[in-house]
Amino acid sequence: MLFKELKKSLNVDVRPIYLLTGEDAFFLERSQKLICDACLKQPDINLSRFDGAELKGNVDKLIYALSSYPFLSDKRVVVVKEYYPLAADLNKLKKYFSEPIETTVLIVVDSSPCDALEKQKNVCVVDCSKGDFSLLSSWVINEVKKNGLTITQGAVNRLIDYCSYDMTRINGETEKLISYCDEGGIISENDVSAICHKETDYELYEVVDYIAGKKYDKAYDALMGMVGSAGDGLRVFTSLYNYFRRLLYVSVTTTSMSVSEIAKNLKVKEYAVKKAKIQAASFSPKRIKEITDKLASLDVMFKSGRLEQQDAVWNAIMSVLAGGNGKNR
């Protein structure tokens, strides 16, 4: 099931075994809390936690915890984080998966997929991948409303873009906005711009958008701002290089692959691919390749000691700005 379906499911019944999997740390943590809240009256004495690494080759420790009875409660909960069991350990656990103890709820929290666990009997998989726009938008609006405020849809859109759909970031920035605005007030796009921090990906999106629109002064100012906030320019250089590699990949696979396939190969969200496709169309393919090749060359020179870090950063910025988008060359 999806994360957004979990709360309703828990109102009906609590499953004996949950596998929470996905890259969004906020949804993983929130799912775990929802399950624990539905089960536990005395969490201090009925909750056991394990790190997956300590259970490899020592699965009896987990089986013992699963077999213990709750104290002053109907349920006890066992949480295991980042658990990717060995085949031998899984064989020992198969009996438990087939006949789980009614008074115990096992929660496995894995940021990466684990096919071996997903295939076991009685395992309820909860998808904690990054949420879609509808889920994130609804969450922000409801959270703001609970605190006696309202927020414009434009402000919601900007907040989600700034945070690159990362729910942990969205949660933190929403808390900042709520603290900033007076009760009964309306959070606007200007409030988001003034208060919220932009993810590097969004900052680069703006830079490339400025270049595509031939607003080179704004692109330069934005890049300088990124270098200043980063403390040193190496992170900006690396991000810039990776961003143009994404644009290049998108530009050469436009007709041969779907958005979902490209997103899977690049290990990014589909929205990032859609934005990359729009931006790539604003440049000539030749210009994107020129920039990417130049950044690759600078990367090699810096890593081999033939170029100082600051020189690599400045050369990268000039390479991106020089020649614009290449459409009229």
Among 2, 43, 45, 8, smallest CA distance to 20 is for 2
Rounded to whole angstroms, what are the CA distances from 269 to 112, 126, 142, 322, 327?
15, 18, 24, 30, 28
Tell me: pLDDT of 326 over 60: no
State the pLDDT at residue 15. 95
Q: What is the pLDDT of residues 209-230, one digit of tens each?
A: 888 888 888 888 888 888 777 6
Query: Both tokens of residue 271?
Result: 């929205």
State the pLDDT at residue 255. 67
CA torsion angle 215 220 226 231 (round to 10): 180
Task: Please check whether residue 193 is in contact with residue 273, taking contact to mean a CB–CB distance below 8 angstroms.
Answer: no
Residue 190: other Cβ atoms inside 10 A: 12
pLDDT band at 254; cut points 50, 70, 90: low
What are the chain's domains?
Answer: 3-127 (3.40.50.300), 133-195 (1.10.8.60), 200-321 (1.20.272.10)
Q: What is the pLDDT of residues 119-163, one digit of tens each?
A: 999 999 999 988 888 889 999 999 999 999 999 999 999 999 888
Distance CA 197, CA 228 (A): 14
Distance CA 31, CA 15 (A): 13
pTM above 0.75, yes or no: no
End-to-end CA distance of the chain: 51
